[in-house]
Amino acid sequence: MPIQFLYPEYEVVRNPDLCIVCRVCERQCANEVHRYDADLNKMFSDSSKCVNCHRCVSLCPTRALKIVKSDHTFKENANWSRQSIEEIYRQADSGGVLLSSMGNPKDYPIYWDKILINASQVTNPSIDPLREPMETRVFLGAKPGSIRRDKDGKIITDLPPRIALSTPIMFSAMSYGSISYNAHASLARAARELGICYNTGEGGLHEDFYEYGPNTIVQVASGRFGVHKDYLETGAAVEIKMGQGAKPGIGGHLPGAKVFGDVSKTRMIPTGTDAISPAPHHDIYSIEDLRQLVFSLKEATEYKKPVIVKIAAVHNIAAIASGIARSGADIIAIDGFRGGTGAAPTRIRDNVGIPIELALAAVDQRLRDEGIRGNVSIVVGGSIHSSSDIVKAIALGADAVYIGTAALLALGCHLCRSCQGGRCNWGIATQVPELVKRLNPDVGYRRLVNLVNAWTHEIKEMMGGMGINSIEALKGNRLMLRGIGLSETELKILGIRHAGE
Amino acid sequence: MAANPVREGNIRIPSGCAISGMFAKDGRLVSGESIVHSMTVMHDRSNGLGGGFAGYGIYPEYKDAYAFHVFYDNKSAKAECEAFLEEHFDIINLSKIPIRKNPRITDEPLIWRYFVNPLPTKLADSQLGEREFVARCVIRINTRIKGAYVFSSGKNMGVFKAVGFPEDVGDFYRLEEYEGYCWTAHGRYPTNTPGWWGGAHPFAMLDYSIVHNGEISSYDANRRYIEMFGYSCTLQTDTEVITYVIDYLHRRQGLTMEEVAQVIAAPFWSTIEAKSEEEKAKATYFRDVYASLLITGPFSILVGFEGGLMALNDRLKLRSMVAAEKGDMFYVASEESAIRLMEPEPDRLWSPRGGEPVIVTLNHTTERG
């Protein structure tokens, strides 16, 4: 037996007094952690295979199972963490790039948690959302700089193409392939019921979901998978994906093992071939090339669809966004360094990019300084944890937010960060039919609707507390925010004052 | 004057207030005495930290020139400002604004009045329209010349304001000696103790003047948006930003006052849904295009402009405001009692609904939004 350098970080603990040997855990675990010994009539677990997804824990009828962090330890070392050591063992063993999923889990600042929201007291009244209208409708798209009137003096109400959202929340791009058919079905149905949009990601649009077109953002990424005329014309908007917060600067890779059946058909590539999205778009090597793609897509859709350009939050984000705002794009989507993914090189996920809060504040201010904030709407994503994060994002200057991880959590994801393995026990990040069917779209879409409705209620409560009864009066209203425990530089970038000021 | 750390512009000061206005639709000129009198009954709505008035039609002899009313902290500010004015304008007349000493009005700055017209060469060089040129010069003086503050800059109109109760301010400026077809008034109740005259209302830009009662919750959303278009909100007051929003929409975007009201006190979506298709399209257009100029939170405002007056409440009517008519006279005030002092027996007296503007213009009947 070879030397085992790695000891499981988490251990499966079974309470033998509670276990009734029903074998549900065994059936539910696609990683084959649980095993039944018929001779002993007893369940055994192999913690080394456990990804800590809680599927078995959640389905155990007697709560006999729990997953605990192992107290097994290396000799304590403030410089060499267990993770650093084990990653070296892993790479020395495989010779490969470390792969991870979902967002950057490292201990970087979460600026949302260092920002506080205002409320009315005495000098102006708070507004009770249960008694008064409280409006959350937003439009995404370019605003004209001046009005036009017809010969009778009536205002011509034509506007550039736009998206109307009942609440400033959209589901961010997750491709069919990286997530399952049932996950897509849940997102699409929820988006329609909520009056918002979901996003196809770079996986094309399954033919069953064309009916959700008015609530669908169709993505065009560097691999151009699944892009054709009907696809572009079906969506409410077309999104050019230039980058992703989880892996700025690199492309994507859906292993051939996941490319079969409808996934291969929807992506328009042969069964079993790896779907590799190049790092750059091979027709975009600068901003003027982006402009050409923007207008190619506008031509293809007869100027009826807004074009979104999605970029990862990187150091020079304000200047990049300024360039995009002049490129003909209608909406800029910015993805922060905490943004999720189905698979990314660990080093990139954990070390590349910047926090969305700082990127958003810098971009919004730069576009205002240049007088072009009205040219584009700004959508931000990359770890929106709650409704208060949304209120803060909008007050910093966003028009709307993208939620990806939060939406998957609503569907049952437990952030085990093992999507790249393709054996998601929750039926989300997998193409294995028996696993996919575990996610019931009837239940999944309802949970998404519940989440967004709950958040919208909370947004209304916070708006009412501030004496604001329409979301547009919150947008860019940074005076409603205060920083706590932030440096002068951080406050300056966020454009907010410190609490008490 | 020493820099006051709690002066407008250094901090943001919310305030409650009283407002009052009168308008003669037939253009007859009315002495300022009546509007000053109307404010006495609302004395308790102010706290002595700011009062002011705007009169329209008061300078018939110079009606084609821009009347600049300027506060100076000291003589060097005056010298610097006058040098700027001479460089950019033809100064037709200049004088101190006549005042009467009042024991409750103290620490007055130097208060001067200039009737000016842009120098044709400077105006041509600027490649701007005349009004835009004047507006930019005013913003420039107010932001660049320390100790100088132009608080009135329209034609045939003027703002008079000070730290004090409104009735004392009216007495101080001898408003009974002026006659106008339109007057607005303001008494201030700031929740802080600044001592700066420029922070009083009305706030004016060209011929637009605003008096405002309320505290808007959309302030920074409005400010950060409007500042994209060359405005600089140095005072950090609601009135300042509302004035710039109205100047932008009415003068620069070419909206009518009714349309301006539809932007800043936009109807709720539930109201819009019930409108005709044409009205729905227009209302939706305004809410979308000018989303960042929606004003939320409580306000009642009187917007004076050349030949007209608009009274407007926020869309929930979170501040009191009453209007009345008697023949060709239109009255509006925070309280009915103030109207009764100006006109004891109006023909009609009503409380305009939230978000529905009342606009009166010369030789026109009252329009209800």
Q: What is the pLDDT of residues B267-282, one digit of tens each?
A: 999 999 999 999 999 9
Are residues B294 and A472, on separate chains, in Cβ contact within 8 Å? Answer: yes
Categorize the per-residue pLDDT at A255 as very low, low, confident or very high, splitting at 50, 70 and 90: confident
Chain A: residue nearest B296 by CA?
A: A468
* A97-113: average pLDDT: 94
The predicted-structure confidence for A430-455, as pLDDT tens digits, reads as follows: 999 999 999 999 999 999 999 999 99
Question: Which residues, 6 or more positions from B3, have their beta carbon under 8 angstroms from its beta carbon?
Answer: B10
Contact B168, B46 (CB under 8 A): no
Are residues B219 and A469, on separate chains, in Cβ contact within 8 Å? Answer: no
CB-nearest to A469 from B12, B15, B316 is B316
Chain B: residue nearest A478 by CA?
A: B220
* B71-89: average pLDDT: 96
Which residues of chain B does A371 touch, with a Cβ-Cβ cutoff of 8 Å? 228-229
pLDDT at residue B302 tops 90: yes
CB < 8 Å from A in window 2-21 of B: 12, 14-16
Which residues of chain A does B220 touch, with a Cβ-Cβ cutoff of 8 Å? 476-480
A464 closest CA partner among A136, A145, A241: A136
Tell whether B282 is within 8 A of chain A (Cβ).
Answer: yes
Identify the pLDDT of residue B367: 44
Identify the pLDDT of residue B369: 35
% of chain B at pLDDT higher than 90: 78
Categorize the per-residue pLDDT at B365 as very low, low, confident or very high, splitting at 50, 70 and 90: very low
The structural domains of chain A, with segments of one domain joined by +, span: 10-96, 138-469
pLDDT at residue A282 tops 80: yes
Identify the pLDDT of residue B191: 60
Whether B17 sits among the annotated catalytic residues: the reply is: yes
CB-nearest to B316 from A132, A138, A473 is A132
How many A/B residue pairs have CB atoms within 8 Å? 113
Identify the pLDDT of residue B45: 77
B229 closest CA partner among B148, B309, B290, B150: B290
pLDDT at residue B188 tops 90: no
The predicted-structure confidence for B111-126, as pLDDT tens digits, reads as follows: 999 999 999 999 999 9
**What's the CA gap between A354 and A351, in Å, rounded?**
9
Q: A160-174, A469-483, B3-17, B313-327: which has the minimum mean pLDDT?
A: B3-17
The H or E element containing residue B313 is strand B308-313
B51 closest CA partner among B74, B62, B35, B75: B35
What is A10-96's CATH number? 3.30.70.20
Tell whether B289 is within 8 A of chain A (Cβ).
Answer: yes
Identify the pLDDT of residue A28: 96
Are residues B266 and A470, on separate chains, in Cβ contact within 8 Å? Answer: yes
CB < 8 Å from A in window 109-148 of B: none
Are residues B295 and A473, on separate chains, in Cβ contact within 8 Å? Answer: yes
Identify the pLDDT of residue B3: 46
Which residues of chain A does B281 touch, with a Cβ-Cβ cutoff of 8 Å? 157
**What's the CA gap between A331 and A242, in Å, rounded?**
13
Residue B53 β-bridge partners: B160, B185
The CA dihedral of A312, A485, A169, A301, to the nearest 10 degrees, is: -30
Are residues B221 and A470, on separate chains, in Cβ contact within 8 Å? Answer: no
Which residues of chain A does B15 touch, with a Cβ-Cβ cutoff of 8 Å? 123
- pTM, two decimal places: 0.93
Spell B75-90 as b/e; 16+ CB within 10 A means b. Answer: eebbebbbebbeebbe
**What's the CA gap between A75 and B18, in Å, rounded?**
73
Chain A: residue nearest B190 by CA?
A: A123
Query: Between these two residues, A197 and B49, which has the higher pLDDT value?
Result: A197
Are residues B254 and A373, on separate chains, in Cβ contact within 8 Å? Answer: no
Are residues A123 and B191, on separate chains, in Cβ contact within 8 Å? Answer: yes
CB-nearest to B254 from A120, A125, A147 is A147
pLDDT at residue B70 tops 60: yes
Which residues of chain A does B16 touch, with a Cβ-Cβ cutoff of 8 Å? 123
Domains of chain B: 15-58+156-368 (3.60.20.10), 61-155 (3.30.70.260)
* A219-234: average pLDDT: 95
Contact A50, A416 (CB under 8 A): no
* B54-83: average pLDDT: 96
Helices A387-396 & A356-369, crossing angle to 10 degrees?
30
CA–CA distances in Å: residue A463 to residues A94, A132, A391: 53, 12, 8
Tell whether B291 is within 8 A of chain A (Cβ).
Answer: yes
**What's the CA gap between B138 and B81, in Å, rounded?**
10
CB-nearest to B14 from A124, A475, A478 is A124
* B100-114: average pLDDT: 93
**What's the CA gap between B2 and B5, in Å, rounded?**
9
**What's the CA gap between A431 and A266, in Å, rounded?**
13
Are residues B253 and A371, on separate chains, in Cβ contact within 8 Å? Answer: no
Question: Which residues, 6 or more positions from B291, have their beta carbon under 8 angstroms from its beta carbon?
Answer: A138, A139, A143, A472, A475
% of chain B at pLDDT higher than 70: 92
Please identify which residue in the block is written with the tokens 């971009």: A363
pLDDT at residue B187 tops 90: no
pLDDT at residue B90 tops 50: yes
**Over A247-274, what HEC string results?**
CCCCCEEECHHHCCHHHHHHHCCCCCCC
CA-atom Rg of chain A in angstroms: 24
Identify the pLDDT of residue B358: 97
CB burial class (10 A; 0-12, 13-18, 19+) of residue A61?
exposed
Which residues of chain B does A165 touch, with a Cβ-Cβ cutoff of 8 Å? none
CA–CA distances in Å: residue A333 to residues A173, A277, A456, B97, B291: 11, 19, 21, 55, 20
Which residues of chain B does A475 touch, with a Cβ-Cβ cutoff of 8 Å? 221, 291-292
Chain B: residue nearest A136 by CA?
A: B269
Q: What DSSP assignment string belongs to B11-78? A: B---EEEEEEEEEETT---EETHHHHHHHHTTGGG--SS-EEEEEES--GGGTTSEEEEEEESSHHHH
Categorize the per-residue pLDDT at B14 as very low, low, confident or very high, splitting at 50, 70 and 90: low
A470 closest CA partner among B286, B255, B315, B299: B315
Are residues A474 and B221, on separate chains, in Cβ contact within 8 Å? Answer: yes
The predicted-structure confidence for B211-259, as pLDDT tens digits, reads as follows: 998 889 999 999 999 999 989 888 888 889 999 999 999 999 999 999 9
Tell whether B214 is within 8 A of chain A (Cβ).
Answer: yes
**Over A153-180, what HEC string results?**
CCECCCCCCCEEECCCEEECCCCECCEC
pLDDT at residue B179 tops 80: yes
Q: What DSSP assignment string belongs to A94-162? A: H-S--EE-SS--S----GGGGEEE----SSS----TTTS--B--EEESPPPSS--B-TTSPBP------
The predicted-structure confidence for A161-193, as pLDDT tens digits, reads as follows: 999 999 999 999 999 999 999 999 999 999 999
pLDDT at residue A252 tops 90: no
Categorize the per-residue pLDDT at A257 as very low, low, confident or very high, splitting at 50, 70 and 90: confident
The H or E element containing residue A334 is strand A331-335
Identify the pLDDT of residue B194: 61
- As its CATH architecture, domain A138-469 has Alpha-Beta Barrel (3.20)
Categorize the per-residue pLDDT at B48 as very low, low, confident or very high, splitting at 50, 70 and 90: confident
Contact B291, A139 (CB under 8 A): yes
Identify the pLDDT of residue B10: 61
The predicted-structure confidence for A322-370, as pLDDT tens digits, reads as follows: 999 999 999 999 999 999 999 999 999 999 999 999 999 999 999 999 9
CA distance A148 to chain B (A): 10
Identify the pLDDT of residue B232: 87
